[in-house]
Amino acid sequence: MSGSALVHVSDVCKRYRSQEVLTGVSFQVARGECVVLCGPSGSGKSTLLRCINGLEDWNSGEVTVDGVDIAANAHRRGHIGQLVGMVFQDFNLFPHLTVLDNVALGPRVLLKEPSTKASAIGHELLERVGLSGHTHKYPYELSGGQQQRVAIARALAMRPKVMLFDEPTSALDPEMVKEVLDVMRELAASGMTMICVTHEMGFARNVADRVVFLTDGCVCETGQPGDFFSCPTTPQAVKFLSHVLAR
Amino acid sequence: MLPQCAEAVQTQPEQPEPAARISVEKGGLMSVAETLESRVEPSSEGRAGGPRIPPRLRRNLGSIFWQGCTLIAVVALLAFLGHNIALNLKARGLASGFDFLSKEAGFAIGFSLIPFTETDTYGRAFIVGLLNTIFVAFVSMILATVLGTIIGVARVSKHPPTAAAALVYVEGLRNIPLLLQVLFWQQLLINGLPGVRQSLSFGGWVFLNNRGLVLPDVSTGALPVPPSLMAAIIAATLIALSIIAFRRAEPSRRRQVTVWGIGALLALEVLLATLTVDWSRPALTGFNFRNGVVLVPEFVALVVALTIYNAAFIAEIVRAGIESVNKGQREAAAALGLPPRLTMRLIVLPQAMRVVIPPLANQYSHLLKASSLATVIGYPDLVNVFLGTTLNQTGRAIEIVTMTMAVYLVLSALVAGFTSWFNAKVALVER
């Protein structure tokens, strides 16, 4: 199992001054697996995700993706960008570039593709997320859901081995959540390795291969979604699910 | 004294003239108000049955009345001042008018972009001063922008010594009066640099000594025919290629294609110009340099002072622009795999632009006006040549001061106009 895993997180600890954010997190994600990270607010989900692509540094422990030590390569952004793609809660599209340029920027600048090839990659990915008619618009001309789909296309353009989603639907109006989740579902079905921090329990139940439940900076419980939602074993998970599912 | 008094008394009866003008103005305004009233009357009569002015129009009439009063007061004041000026000039026996511009100046100018000798006119001296002002301000603006951007970026550097050095630069230089800095650089250049015979040489082409900066000269002889023919062929090919590329490009790429096309043409021009034009290398013969353009120390001192001082302010403007860009933008760029340098160039600086340009326009306007400090170190700018020497020799104070003010006004307006045009272009791309 551990030999075929794509993402290894072993015993990662992180402190902000005296605040312990991660207290020895360990888990693995296999190739093609879709893992949902959930847990109460402040449990360190987003921080853990940001450690996996080196946006945050940590105090002890090790993270490897496809055999590459992230801590040792944190300064080689271009290298990590081709391993790990990330989608943010606030989309963070580049407002001065068109939708197409947002997507084609990575291939053109970092993968050194010729401009026409980069545009072709952009067109293809935008079509895949259902936005082929919006290529020459600027991000502000799009709805939140459309912007988030562009952000997914932008991350995919670097052909990463694993995609990280940091609460991708939390900043969206309710009627736009579905279009983003549909894209993510399609992505999971296509075999992409995904780690998602989300409060969409329906997505976790239906799409995820595994749920990793974090509390107080460490993995509290992990299991198949069916087992996790129907019979959680730890009291923390029971409490969390009673809050979340009561909505 | 006596004849002057007599003259003054004689002119007394002319005093009522402005008063007459005022009454004319008033009459004009009154009639406007009357016509407005008469125009309104029929409709209001139709509705209310009485000659009433609607309240909105009445308020407008009130504001028209007060605006009219202000206008009359200003015109009256100007007329009063103008009249007195005319009287005083006459009393002192001074002539007025712009005829002096075509008279022989009789003085030499130490540094000019166009040929100027003592037998040229004051008008040409004005042009020389104007060009010198534009030249020194333009060179300083470009250098200050480049230096300021570099220091502004250094200011937000994660590398502590770099950020600290930039901070010291900014705080040190923007808190010393510009006048002192101008004098400092002048003294340093004149006293700190070696004499002509011990000039600092930069590759044998550029020399620096206490008489200025010596640059290679270009002799603009007739271009040989074959290169210009070749240039025309290459240029035509480039233009054709650009047009094809433009047609084929995605609409969002077209701007880029245009810029590259124009850039390639300009590069070609510069390359051919450099190759075909005769560069004459400065050579030390006897006590001075032959075959070179000398930028006088005053020019160099002024450019250095204006650049260094304004770069400190521009650095702060650039820093504010950089910090105005959302942190999420950097994170997104980092997550995509862009290293810090590319993130700055491709993501942060383009977005910072829209915040940077309006205050930058202010700084350019300041720089332009501050270039008149040239006069204290003797660089022959507009103020020095025109407001100084020309005024001293001709005594046409009003004309000269007005012309000089008009020049600064027009130049500042041009700078402001250009920057706001540029701002509109950048803003259009982003929002």
- Encode pLDDT of B123-153 as tens digits: 999 999 999 999 999 999 999 999 999 999 9
Does B59 map to a domain? Answer: no
Cα angle value A105/A108/A114 (rounded, 5°): 145
With cut-offs at 50, 70 and 90, classify the pLDDT of residue A37: very high
- Tell whether B176 and B222 lie within a shared domain: no
Across the interface, whether the CB atoms of A105 and B336 are under 8 A apart is answered yes
Q: Which of B232, B263, B295 is the last residue of a domain?
A: B295
Same domain (yes/no): B335, B403: yes
What sign has the CA pseudo-torsion B335, B337, B341, B343? Answer: negative
CATH number for position B371: 1.10.3720.10
Say what the pLDDT of residue B40 is. 46
CA–CA separation, B287 and B294 (whole Å) = 14
Minimum-distance CB partner of A96 among B335, B336, B351: B351
Closest residue in chain B to residue A123, using alpha carbons only: B250
Residues of B in contact with A84 (CB under 8 A): 335
Over pLDDT 70: what percentage of chain A? 98
Are residues B345 and B239 located together in one domain of the fold?
Answer: no
Residue B174's domain comprises 126-190+297-431
d(CA B51, CA B45): 5
pLDDT score recorded for residue B249: 66
pTM value is 0.72
Residue at B66 is within a domain:
no
8 Å CB contact of B335 and A94: no
Report if residue B96 sits inside a domain.
Answer: no
Residue A80's alpha-carbon distances to A52, A121, A143, B248, B338, in angstroms, are: 10, 20, 29, 34, 10
- Closest Cα to residue A42, out of A64, A16, A60, A63? A16
- Give the pLDDT confidence of A93-108 residue by residue, as tens digits: 999 899 999 999 999 9
Identify the domain boundary among B268, B295, B322: B295
Are B306 and B422 contained in the same domain? yes
Whether residues B356 and B411 share a domain: the answer is: yes
Per-residue pLDDT of chain B (431 residues; tens, 9 = 90+): 444 444 444 444 444 444 444 444 444 444 444 444 444 444 444 454 556 777 777 778 888 889 999 999 999 999 999 898 888 888 887 777 888 888 888 888 888 888 888 889 999 999 999 999 999 999 999 999 999 999 999 999 888 999 999 999 999 999 999 999 999 999 998 888 888 778 888 877 788 888 888 887 766 554 444 556 666 777 788 788 878 777 766 665 666 777 777 788 778 777 776 666 666 777 777 667 777 778 888 899 999 999 999 999 999 999 999 999 999 999 999 999 999 889 998 999 888 888 898 899 999 999 999 999 999 998 999 999 999 999 989 888 888 999 999 999 999 999 999 888 888 877 655 54
Instruction: Note the pLDDT tens digit of each residue in A15-25.
Output: 888 888 899 99
Q: Looking at residue B7, what is its pLDDT?
A: 44
Q: A81: distance to nearest CA of chain B, Å?
A: 4
Instruction: Give the residue from B295, B324, B348 where a domain finishes.
Output: B295
Hey, are the CB atoms on A81 and B335 less than 8 Å from each other? yes
Residue B241 included in any domain = yes
Enumerate the H helices of A9-91 as residue ranges.
Answer: 45-52, 77-81
What pLDDT shows up at residue B14? 45
Same domain, B291 and B313: no
Report, in angstroms and rounded to the nearest whole number, the Rg of chain B calculated over CA atoms: 30
Determine, for residues A100 and B252 on separate chains, whether the beta-carbon distance falls below 8 Å.
yes
pLDDT tens track for A98-153 = 999 999 999 999 998 888 899 999 999 999 999 998 999 999 999 999 999 999 99
Q: What pLDDT score was predicted for residue A143?
A: 92
CB contact under 8 Å between B331 and A81, yes or no, is no
How confident is the model over A174-193, as pLDDT tens digits? 889 999 999 999 999 999 99
| Residue B64 covered by a domain | no
CB atoms B331 and A88 under 8 Å: yes
Smallest CA–CA distance from B340 into chain A, residue: A77
DSSP state of A133: G
Asked if residue B113 is part of any domain, the answer here is: no
Does A234 contact B at CB distance below 8 Å?
Answer: no
Mutation for testing the A interface, residue in B255, B336, B429, B431 having most A CBs under 10 Å? B336
Note whether B351 contacts A95, CB cutoff 8 Å. Answer: yes
Contact B169, B157 (CB under 8 A): no
Q: B328, A90: Cβ pair inside 8 Å?
A: yes
Please check whether residue A105 touches B, CB under 8 A. Answer: yes
Residue B68 lies in a domain: no
Considering the domain boundaries, does residue B164 fall inside one?
yes
Residue B250 confidence (pLDDT): 61
Residues B306 and B345 in one domain: yes
**What pLDDT is recorded for position B427?**
67
**Same domain flag for B301 and B415:** yes
Q: Are residues B353 and B317 in the same domain?
A: yes
Are B321 and B289 part of one and the same domain?
A: no
A106 to B329: CB separation less than 8 angstroms, yes or no: no
Q: What confidence category does residue A197 fall into, taking pLDDT thresholds of 50, 70 and 90?
A: very high
Please count the residue pairs, one from chain A and one from chain B, whose beta carbons lie less than 8 angstroms apart.
Answer: 77
pLDDT of the residue at B37 = 46
Same domain, B336 and B347: yes
Per the listing, tokens 């030249």 go with: B135
Tell me the shortest Cα–Cα distance from A201 to chain B, in angstroms.
26
- Work out how many domains chain B is built from and give that number: 3
- Per-residue pLDDT tens over the stretch A46-78: 999 999 988 988 999 999 999 999 988 888 888
Secondary structure string (H, E, C) spanning chain B: CHHHHHHHHHHHHHCCHHHHHHHHHHHHHHHHHHHHHHHHHHHHHHHHCCCCCCHHHHHHHHHHHHHHHHHHHHHHHHHHHHHHHHHHHHHCCCCCCCHHHHCECCCCCCCCCCCCCCCCEHHHHHHHHHHHHHHHHHHHHHHHHHHHHHHHHHHCCCCHHHHHHHHHHHHHHHCCCHHHHHHHHHHHHHHHCCCHHHCEEECCCEEEECCEEEEEEEECCCCCHHHHHHHHHHHHHHHHHHHHHHHHCCHHHHHHHHHHHHHHHHHHHHHHHHHHCEEECCEEECCEEECEEEECHHHHHHHHHHHHHHHHHHHHHHHHHHHHCCHHHHHHHHHHCCCHHHHHHHHHHHHHHHHHHHHHHHHHHHHHHHHHHHHHHCCCCHHHHHHHHHHHHHCCHHHHHHHHHHHHHHHHHHHHHHHHHHHHHHHHHHC
Residues B410 and B310 in one domain: yes
pLDDT value for A224:
92
